[in-house]
């Protein structure tokens, strides 16, 4: 957001106030203060600039993208030959599975997040156990409850399936060798290259936000009043934008919002506390030899991340783009609807929060109308879920 755009938006706001308001004037039916406008403009512009991932030498490579697409939907990278990445990340469900907790080879503990816009993450997974998209793509293949493969089994499959081996050669310029780990890392990088292409589109909110930036009263008026009222709560009394910041509506970090984190009776999901231990010791982290970022400039966060007591039970703040299309919610899918999420914050159980840990969180005590407004705003963060179409390159057999 440039200063000029903010000035222009504030000028538009002043213009709006200077006009003669009437009940029929939708532009003024819900007016925002200069402070609110500045906060709203901070949630754009969208989409962000596309950048390749320096840690992945095939990021943005067309052959890698096609290879990753093929692997993403193929079940042969699972121990029983029945599970693909797309089982939990289904294009028709906005790349989630609609389940509270996903089921691979066996039931898991967590809700499958969408992989759309995943390229913008700093940390991956609800616990941030990975610091890059290719490592995060390797994780489910090797998780016994998800796809259940070993590194040797993944590498063998790549070597033995002609299409996989052909695409590997085309993408990496050599045949898959005998170094299993190297093959696994390359598979992760191809999968990441494909997922980097999954970007969410423009939303009604983006149209409103940009209209506000350029002072387009007609376009501002088209944004529903209920959404405007909800947005005011979001950036105002609710302070939702403290954690759901920026164009992607997330600060990318981890918080405890008072959700119970028993994975099962008698078993706790440690959340970020465990994730930090994992990412620091992972052979696939950005500090390790598999990163293609020779300068390790992408590894600063990993180098400095430290485990603290407060991390126990913290989970990643999700993006809110397309949030209405990705129910159920929270790390364990324990909250069924968007209205339930809003109710959670409205009636927040402070007893579950450490006095010092999450000072921002207080019960919002919203009226039913206010809760509905907040939901109406969140629903404008959807891009209409465009239909995913397989690419020609991904569909054709490699020869």
Closest to another protein by CB, 14 or 260? 260
Min dist. Cβ of residue 38 to another protein (A): 31
Among 233, 205, 244, 240, which Cα is nearest to 373's?
233
* Binding piece for another protein, criterion CB under 8 A, among 103-111, 172-180, 215-223, 255-263: 255-263
CB-wise, 179 or 308, nearer to another protein? 308
Shortest Å, Cβ 169 to another protein: 43
Q: Could you say whether residue 265 binds another protein (CB under 8 A)?
A: yes
> To the nearest whole angstrom, how small is the minimum distance from the Cβ of residue 357 to another protein?
8
DSSP string, 258-272: S---EEETTEE--BH
Bridging pattern class, strands 254-255 and 262-264: unpaired
Of positions 35, 160, 347, 350, contacts another protein by CB under 8 A: 350
Residues 132 and 55: their CA atoms lie apart, in Å, by 8
Binding mask 277-306 for another protein (x = CB under 8 A): -----------------------------x
Q: Pick between residue 49 and residue 351 the one whose CB is nearest to another protein.
A: 351
**Taking Cα atoms as reference points, which of 61, 81, 135, 83 lies closest to residue 302?**
135
> Is residue 356 part of the contact set for another protein (CB under 8 A)?
yes
What would the DSSP string read from start to end of 113-174?
PP-TTGGG-SSBTTTT-BSSHHHHHHHHHH-TTTT---HHHHHHHHHHSHHHHHHHHHHHSS
Does 202 interact with another protein (rule: CB under 8 A)? no
Q: Select from 76, 101, 352, 393 the one that contacts another protein (CB under 8 A).
A: 352
Q: CB under 8 A: which stretch of 162-170, 179-187, 211-219, 256-264 binds another protein?
A: 256-264
Which CB contacts under 8 angstroms, 24+ apart, belong to 205-208? Answer: 205/43, 205/231, 205/377, 205/380, 205/381, 206/44, 206/45, 206/46, 208/380
Minimum CB distance to another protein smaller for 107 or for 162: 107
Round to whole Å and give the CA distance between 50 and 190. 17
Q: Shortest Cβ distance from residue 310 to another protein (Å)?
A: 7
User: Which residue of 4, 174, 267, 289 would you call a contact of another protein, by CB under 8 A?
Assistant: 267
CA pair distance 116, 91, nearest whole angstrom: 10
Q: How far apart are CA 192 and CA 67, in angstroms?
A: 10
Structure tokens at 177: 């060798």
Using CB under 8 A, which of 54, 201, 215, 357 touches another protein? Answer: 357
Contact 336, 321 (CB under 8 A): no
Using CB under 8 A, pick the residue from 6, 199, 268, 385 that binds another protein. Answer: 268
Nearer to another protein, 3 or 304 (CB): 304
Residue from 47, 142, 312, 324 touching another protein (CB under 8 A): that is 312
Could you say whether residue 313 binds another protein (CB under 8 A)?
A: yes
How far apart (Å, rounded) are the C-alpha atoms in residues 141 and 129? 15
Are the CB atoms for 104 and 146 separated by under 8 Å?
yes
Between β-strands 262-264 and 267-268, what pairing exists: parallel, antiparallel or unpaired?
A: antiparallel
Does 260 help bind another protein (rule: CB under 8 A)?
yes
Residues that bind another protein in the complex, under the rule CB under 8 A = 260-262, 264-268, 270, 306-310, 312-313, 350-352, 354-357
């Amino acid at each position: 957001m440039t200063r000029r755009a903010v000035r222009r938006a504030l000028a538009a706001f002043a213009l709006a106030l200077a006009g003669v308001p009437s009940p029929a004037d939708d532009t003024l039916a819900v007016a925002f203060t200069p402070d609110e406008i500045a906060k709203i403009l901070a949630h754009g512009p969208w989409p962000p600039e596309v950048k390749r991932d320096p840690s992945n030498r095939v990021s943005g490579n067309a052959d890698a993208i096609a290879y990753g697409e093929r692997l993403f939907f193929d079940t042969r990278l699972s121990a029983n030959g029945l599970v693909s990445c797309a089982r939990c990340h289904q294009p028709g469900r906005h790349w989630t599975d609609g389940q509270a907790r996903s089921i691979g080879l066996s039931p898991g503990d967590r809700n499958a997040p969408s992989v759309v816009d995943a390229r913008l993450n700093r940390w991956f997974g609800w616990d941030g156990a990975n610091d890059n998209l290719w490592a995060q793509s390797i994780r489910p293949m090797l998780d016994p409850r998800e796809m259940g493969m070993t590194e040797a089994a993944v590498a063998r499959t790549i070597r033995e399936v002609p299409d996989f081996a052909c695409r590997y050669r085309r993408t990496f310029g050599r045949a898959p060798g005998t170094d299993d780990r190297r093959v696994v890392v390359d598979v992760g990088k191809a999968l990441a290259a494909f997922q980097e292409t999954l970007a969410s589109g423009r939303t009604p909110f983006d149209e409103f936000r940009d209209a506000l930036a350029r002072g387009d009263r007609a376009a501002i008026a088209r944004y529903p009043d209920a959404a405007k009222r909800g947005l005011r709560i979001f950036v105002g009394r609710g302070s939702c934008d403290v954690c759901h910041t920026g164009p992607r509506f997330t600060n990318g970090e981890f918080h405890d919002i008072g959700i119970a984190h028993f994975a099962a009776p008698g078993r706790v999901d440690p959340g970020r506390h465990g994730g930090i231990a994992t990412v620091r010791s992972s052979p696939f982290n950005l500090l390790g030899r598999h990163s293609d970022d020779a300068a390790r400039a992408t590894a600063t966060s990993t180098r400095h991340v430290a485990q603290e007591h407060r991390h126990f039970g913290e989970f990643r703040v999700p993006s809110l783009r397309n949030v209405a299309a990705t129910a159920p919610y929270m790390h364990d899918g324990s909250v069924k609807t968007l209205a339930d999420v809003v109710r959670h914050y409205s009636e927040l159980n402070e007893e579950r929060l450490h006095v010092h840990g999450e000072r921002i969180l207080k019960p919002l005590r919203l009226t039913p109308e206010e809760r509905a407004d907040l939901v109406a705003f969140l629903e404008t963060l959807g891009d209409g879920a465009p239909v995913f179409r397989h690419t020609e390159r991904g569909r054709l057999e490699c020869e």
